[in-house]
Structure formats: structure tokens, C-alpha cells
Chains A and B, each alone.
Chain A
Amino acid sequence: MSILANRDTQVVIIGGVAGLNAARRMAQFDFLINRPLSVKAFVYPPEEGQQKEIYRGGELKNVPVYSSLEDALAENPGINTALIYIGANRAYQAAKEALEASSIKLVSMITEGVPEKDAKRLRKLAIEAGKLFNGPSSIGIMSAGECRLGVIGGEFKNLKLCNLYRSGSFGVITKSGGLSNEAMWLCAQNGNGITTAVAIGGDAYPGTDFVTYLEMFEKDPETKAVVIVGEVGGTLEDEAAEWLAAEKRRIRLVATIGGTCQEVLPQGMKFGHAGAKEGKKGVGSARAKMNALRDAGALVPDTFGGLSKCIKQVYEELLADGSIKPEPEIDEALLPELPLKVQEIMKQGEVIVEPLIRTTISDDRGEEPRYVGYAASELCEKGYGIEDVLSLLWSKKLPSREESEIIKRIIMISADHGPAVSGAFGAIIGACAGIDLPQAVSAGMTMIGPRFGGAVTNAGKYFKYGVKEYPNDIAGFLSWMKQNVGPVPGIGHRVKSVKNPDKRVKYLVDYVKNHTSLHTPCLDYALEVEKITTSKKDNLILNVDGTIGCILVDLDFPEQSLNGFFVLARTIGMIGHWIDQTTQGSKLIRLYDYLINYAVKEEREVPVKK
């Protein structure tokens, strides 16, 4: 048994991220004692319509967020408890609405820094409505084996250490949140654990008081004793003493009061909770409270350190008079363990997870990116350039100085070919339509294909094939190509010919062959092919795609990487075109009618749909 919260308790949390964290802690407890999720709904207007992910053990649950309490309650009629986590300036309104909702019986407020007047009003409202307003500044309420409201009880491990998975015989009432946890631990260590622990908050005017809960504990047959952790200031402890003395009580009372130090401190010096302040003439002093409680029959240690002994003493007396039976030892191993996250289990080496992807080129898990093992900054420091990084990432090799130079030149001469070609034109139309750089450049990029710039890979691929399968047999190669592929990729140009050669091709071939020591079997083969094809038709020259493809094959780049050079190079150009157009403030392009042949049907009437 318990007070305030039990297995039937269903909760709405009003507030944002702090409330979500609390809900996750509460779900851990739900998992420990094997009950359904206690949090049914959140109310937080900024996140209306979202679903919050909460793990109950290994099970992922989704809890809806509503913009109003009314909506949350309409869809979740079982909710009887509200936890307020919203900021101090909105906490009053939220708690008021909750207290006014007929199905809600208990409102507990964690929010700190709530104006005293607001707390007083809420207390009054709750009393008038026959409900409970716990807090403000309350860490929450814990009913062992039944329900956890808030983060009270701390981490999962602590829930077990404090035996909170099953009911004991001690009730706990504290002002402080941290000490509610400490008191639960002491009850588990020196007794058989708790029934319910409630933190009422350390504000000057909490919504409830010790007596409210003492009455409830008195009526709860499982609670045999109550531990109160009080402090200097206010009258709640004195009222508890009066309650105890008023008539014979079933429950035993143990109480410890903080703040005796104020007797020796300079006058007016106060610290601790807002409510921990001594009034004039010693009213509310810790000593006076301790005496009142002792006189009323409570067990009151001189200091907090003596609390353990008092709890133990009461527990042993209760055992001796048969009020409680010794608790059978529970095998801790039978209690569930919170499922670990995959990363945690992997660290312990107890699980194998098949990777989703595999990379062989780069790794940025360390302090900086590494390309095929080389630190980026070290490459910079040692004089390597972008063409070396490209080589590492595309073919996993560091090129020689000569090779780098070739790569660099290939990119330089391919970077742009004026605005008229498909790629640049696509990017320009995009820029004129006002779209952003990445989208406009992508528009140009989509043009790269069989008719525009996309022949590099295939040219390299087939000339390489020829070198291997038809060495010294160009005719054989050409006839194989005719049969199996069609026109030879990398051969032929729309405007250039033997008489009007492509200067880029001339330059590249000359540079590679006469200014470097690169061995060029593929390029040589292609030039041989060109001799044959140009003898048939003047414009069947080795074009720039073919030249680049062959050189790259000779540089030992993987076949599938070859188009990348054109893509990379032209990206530079297309970005340039986008910047150029937007800097000029170019207008939207629309084709003139006279540029279009409207080969369409005559105007006609739409028939009735059948």
C-alpha cells in the first residue's frame, strides 16, 4: 500500500524538456516494477502534436503532446495526477487549470522560484476543491512498488539499492529533495524500506504540510512509522508535533530538524531553502521544533547523523512486537536490468553489430579528418595539394609530383567551357530563376550524361579493353566495338576535326608525352585508333573526353572514378556561372515564342468525360 500514488495513477506532465526527462526517469521505474507507462500525456503548446519517445525498458513508447490540458484529459480520461514542470511565470496558471479539472486529484509542482502569493493561492484552491497541491520546488513523490512521480529516487541503480521495487513500512516526508532520497536510502539500510516518500519542497509556503501526509500515513495500514526531515523556519514541524500529541497514533514518528547551526551564526544570516528562516524571538528555530517533537513522543536525534540509529531502533521494535515481519531476502539478480544502449554493450564486447556501411578512405573520429590514414593538416604542412587529396580519396594513392601536375592540368582545362553548353546553361537558368547555389549547380550537373561530358569513363574503359584484348589489332578492336558497343566513346566531335583540331587535346597529349615520364599505353592506343577513324571521316578525332579518360587510365585511376574529373572540374565552372548571374542580378529567363515550334493540335472542345 501507499499514499498519494499507486499502480492506478496516470499522469499528465505540463512543461517542456525537464518534464520529458522526468517522464523518462518515471518510465525506468515503471519498467522496474513492471507496470504500464504512468505518463500518458504532455501539455506543452510549443510542441503540440509531437510524440515524445520514451523507453520503458527496451520497449519504445510514444507519448503525445497536447496544447491544452483540456485536450489531454479528453483523450486520456484515466489521468488523475498532474506534474508541473513549466517555468515559474506560467506555473500558477498551469496548476490552477489542473486543480480545476475534475478528474485530477493531485497536482505536484517541481518548478522553483514560484512567487509565494501564487503558491498560497494554489494551496487555497486545492483545499477548496478537496484536492492536493504538492510543492512548489518538490522533487516529487515515490510510492515503492507502485508509482514514481518525478525524478525522486535518482538513477535506476539507486531505485534498486533503496528497495523501491517493493513496499516497506516507513513513510517519508521531507522538505528537501536530496534528503528525500537520502531518507529512502536510510530506511532501506536500517529498516525494510518505504511505503511512500513525499518531498513537499523547501519554499516558505508549501502547498501541503507534514500533517496532511501524517494523516494519510496514519490511515495506511502498511505504513508503521514515518520519518520527517524538517528544518528551521515556519511552523510545519510544530504542527506535526501537535498532531502527534493530540491523540494516540498508530504510526511511530522519527524526525530530524536542520538548522541548529543558526544558534551560533551572526543574527540575520540565513541560508538553505527559502522557507528556512527563523522568525523574531526564536520562532521556528530548529531547537524549538526538536523539543516540541520530542515532547510529543517522536524520536528525534540530535543531528542528522543519528537518524540511522533511530530508524534502526524503530524497525527492531516493530519487528519485536510483531507489527512487521522480516522481509524475505530478494535475489537482486531477479530484478530487471535497464537495457543498455548498443554502444555501451559493444564497449563491453558482448554483442556484435553488423555495420551498415564500410569505408576505406576517410575517418574523422579523431581530432581531425584523416584521408587513407594521413592527417589533413600534415598533408597541408608537407606541401601536398588538392590534387593529392583527390588522388587519396579516389584511388587511395599519393601521386608523384609529375602525376599531380597532370591531374591538376586536367581539372584546369576542364573547369569551364562557356555558358552555351548544357551544364553551364542549366546552372544559369537556375540562377536566373532565383534558386540557391547548390540547387542551381545541381541543375547543371544533371545534364552530365551520354551527350555531355559523360564519356570519360566509357572512353577510358574501352580503350583499356582494347589495349588488353586487341593489342596491335586496331581493326579487330573497332569491329568488336561496332558489334558490341556502337560508336567508340571518346572519338568524334561536333565541330572539331583533323583540320580544326581541339587545342585542349593537343596540349594535353603534348604535355603528357613530351614533358612527363608517364608511361602511356592507353593514350598511345587511342591515338592509333584515331589514325584509323580519321582516315574514314575527318571529324572522328580523339576528343577531350577520350584523351582525359586514357591519361587517367594510364595514371591508374579506377574506371568508375573517371567521370568524376569532369564533374569536379565543371562544378568549379558552374559555381562561377551562378555567382556571375546572381551578382549581375540577372532576370528570369523565358523562351520567346519564336524560338519554339508549336507543333500542336488545333484548339478544340474537351469532350464529356466517359
Chain B
Amino acid sequence: MAKILEGPAMKLFNKWGIPVPNYVVIMDPNRLEQLGEANKWLRESKLVVKAHEAIGGRFKLGLVKLGLNLEEAVAASREMIGREIGTAVIRQVIVAEMLEHDEEYYLCINGNRDGAEVLLSNRGGVDIEENWDTVRRLFIPIDENPSVERLTEFAGEAGFTGEIAERVGKIVSRLVLCFDNEDAQSIEINPLVIRKSDMRFAALDAVMNVDYDARFRHADWDFKPVSEIGRPFTEAELQIMEIDARIKGSVKFVEVPGGEIALLTAGGGASVFYSDAVVARGGTIANYAEYSGDPSDWAVEALTETVCALPNIKHIIVGGAIANFTDVKATFNGIINGFRESKSKGYLENVKIWVRRGGPNENQGLAAIRKLQDEGFDIHVYDRSMPMTDIVDLALNS
């Protein structure tokens, strides 16, 4: 799953003939002035300026400015670029033509197990939730893209008529092509607008997710997926992501500010159950972390140090199921080194560590980590005979 920003999405729309308004993405407000000299539409249209970053609720934060002329757009970008929102800094803005239009439609395509589903309504815009009963759905089995005729018919079912129905059918057809060929997971266009005087359509706002695992067959994907957690990634998260991209197996890390229980858990499945156990017992998690697929010990060590550096934590849960092939001795070696390093940097004061794990070389791994007791760590080590998530109960009852 990978959400992409509007700029790259627009580029892909253009590629597949889905109408988009004129737009530019800029990092330097002075560049916008020069672009204005080169492009008539920037001088003559009403413009919208939006922060081009993965930040939720941009409207409320004043990061979307509407109905501007070029001069105002330059001023708005000057104001936005460099602004700090939480831990993020706005580096880019997208400046687009605000197409004067007569009607707003809703068009969306979502992947599902058997193919995809197209959703279409002639009552799009900000009120789409209220008009949800007007949405018509069309299932598209995988590898069976419907004809333009069928899609025009579908537009008719959604209440479009005449030439507009034909044009909408064509746009849906291109959307399906774009979805299929670009390994998209979902594309939501809201609103798709029309200016009837010249029958001009444009996707004014769009959210697109692509399958980043498919990037090996998309030479023109020049973007990176953006954060989907409603805020930009933190420094620590980016650092672990960078390690994750380089190693066999994986390491993952997401911060949850304010929590007291830090997770240093193994396995994509087990790690979620550990989070559940903390929440179920009334605890608060300080992070999500996971390592799996027998990653190198240095990667686990880096993850450990990141977890140890979380502020105000009281417990660290070093949990995991009985591994199939992740070597417990080797990965624990990384964890042990990470703990030692963190302690020498002054972390882990008054932090209790709880360990439960099984798998290849479990005896050696558990014996090695147990030895940290002798070095003054407040560490409690259990083997497979301790039910998997019960160390969470022990931690919270301690």
C-alpha cells in the first residue's frame, strides 16, 4: 500500500488521458513567478495553492488557499513553504488552475480480491457522504476491462445523460486503464468537474494509492510513497525504513506519542497481538515495532536502540511467537547489544524489560539475554512455556 501525492497522481492521470487541470509543483516561490511568465493559464485563471505534503486536515491548517490570482498565489506559496507543522516542514506546494465549473461528480475505483469496483455518482463534491445513496457500483473482474459502451451505459445508470454520459463513460474507461496498468490499489476523484460551456472535464482533487511492491515494472515511478499515518514520518521512523529497504527480512517502527509500553516484537502477526494485549489490559503503547524474516543482527540492534530512545517508557516488551526460521540467538545478539549501547547512553533508567520467545537456537538466545541481569538490567526472561502475550500482563501487574 502506498499513498502518493497529488503531483505524481496527476502525472499518471495525464499519462492515461484522464483530464486534469493545469498544475505545477514548486519548491521555490520565485520559480512560480517565472512560470507565470511562461504559462498563460497561471496569469489568467483563478488558482488554488495547496501544501504538497502528507499532512492530514490541510484545510483546517490553512494549507489550502483558493481563488487566488498569480500574485496572491506567489504570496501564498511564500507563506506556506518552510512552515513547520508538528515535526514536518512544508517543502513543496502544488499550484493548480481552479476550473470554473457547473457540476461536481464523484468517481472512484477500489481494488478487491476478484478485481475492482468502480463507484460513480453525479452528486460529488464535499457532500458525497450525504449523497452516498446516489453512488452506483460496477464490478470489474480482473483482466476483463469493460468496453466504453458498457461504461457509458453505467454512466447512464448513475444518472448521466447524452453527451455527458458518453464523456463520463470514456473517463471511467481511462480510469480503469490507469488503475490496471499502474498497479493502483485505489483512485478516488472528488470532485470530477465539468464546465459545460466548452464541455471541459477535470479531476480537481484526487487520492491515489499504488502497490509499491510492483515498482520493479514501473520505470517511470519517480515518487516515493508518503506516510499514511496522518502525519509525516519522524526521523527515527525514516531511519528504520531506510534499514528495512536494505536488508533481508524486515524491521518496522511506528511511534505512538504518549505511550508507556514500548514494543520490540517479532513477526507481523504476533506483534499485532502484543499491541492488542497492551490495549486490552488498559496499557498504552509507545510504538509499534516488528522484526521478521531472520534479519541481520545489526538491523535488530538499530531497531532496539530506536525503541530504547522512546521518551517516558516504563516497559519494553521483547515478545515473539516460536519462530520458524528467524534465529533467536542471532537476533537476540542484536537486541542485547542495542540494550547495552542504550544503557551506556543513559537510556533504560527505571525501564523493565520483558522477554518471551521461542525458535531456532532459543536456548542459547534466551540464556544470553538472561545474562543482562548480571549487568544491572531489570530484565525478566521467559521461554516458550510462558503463553505468548502473558508477559504483557506481568509487565502491567508489576
Contacts and interface: CB of A to CB of B under 8 A. Distances in A.
Interface of A: 21, 25, 88-89, 112-118, 120-121, 123-124, 139, 151-155, 158, 161, 174-182, 185, 202, 204-205, 229, 231-232, 256, 258-261, 263-274, 276-277, 286, 302-305, 308
Contacts of B322: 154, 158, 178, 181-182, 185
Nearest to A153: B324
B252 A271 contact: yes
Interface stretch (B32-40, B60-68, B73-81, B382-390): B382-390
A21 B360 CA distance: 14
B367 to A, nearest CB: 15
Contacts, number: 182
Contacts of A259: 272, 276
Given A154-B322, A204-B185, A268-B229, 20 more contacts: A115-B217, A116-B111, A154-B359, A158-B359, A174-B269, A175-B269, A176-B270, A178-B321, A178-B323, A204-B1, A229-B269, A231-B269, A259-B272, A261-B272, A261-B276, A268-B228, A269-B230, A271-B271, A273-B268, A286-B276
A603 to B, nearest CB: 69
A174 B275 CA distance: 18
B278 interface: yes
B142 A124 contact: yes
B26 interface: no
Contact of B269 (A25, A121, A124, A179): A179
Nearest to A158: B322
B395 interface: no
B146 to A, nearest CB: 17
A21 B293 CA distance: 13
Interface residues of B, number: 61
Contacts of B84: none
A88 B272 CA distance: 25
Contacts of A265: 256, 285
B185 A178 contact: no
Interface of B is mostly: mixed
Contacts of A308: 387
A179 B325 contact: no
Given A304-B277, A305-B388, A268 B272 contact: no
A273 B213 CA distance: 13
Nearest to B359: A154
A178 B272 contact: no
A490 to B, nearest CB: 62
A182 B213 contact: no
A181 to B, nearest CB: 5
Contacts of B180: 117
A286 B272 CA distance: 11
Contact of B389 (A114, A177, A181, A304): A304
B202 interface: no
Given A151-B325, A181-B322, A181-B324, A158 B358 contact: yes
B219 interface: no
Contacts of B323: 154, 178, 181
B221 interface: no
A268 B230 contact: yes
Contacts of B220: none
B229 A270 contact: yes
A274 B290 CA distance: 13
A371 to B, nearest CB: 34
B228 A120 contact: no
Contacts of A264: 279
Contact of A305 (B142, B213, B389): B389
A331 to B, nearest CB: 21
11 contacts: A25-B325, A115-B217, A158-B359, A175-B269, A263-B279, A264-B279, A269-B229, A270-B1, A302-B280, A303-B389, A308-B387
A258 to B, nearest CB: 4
Nearest to A127: B114
B288 interface: yes
Contact of B272 (A153, A181, A205, A272): A272
A68 B358 CA distance: 38
B242 interface: no
A116 B269 contact: no
Contacts of B320: 178
B235 interface: no
A114 B213 contact: yes
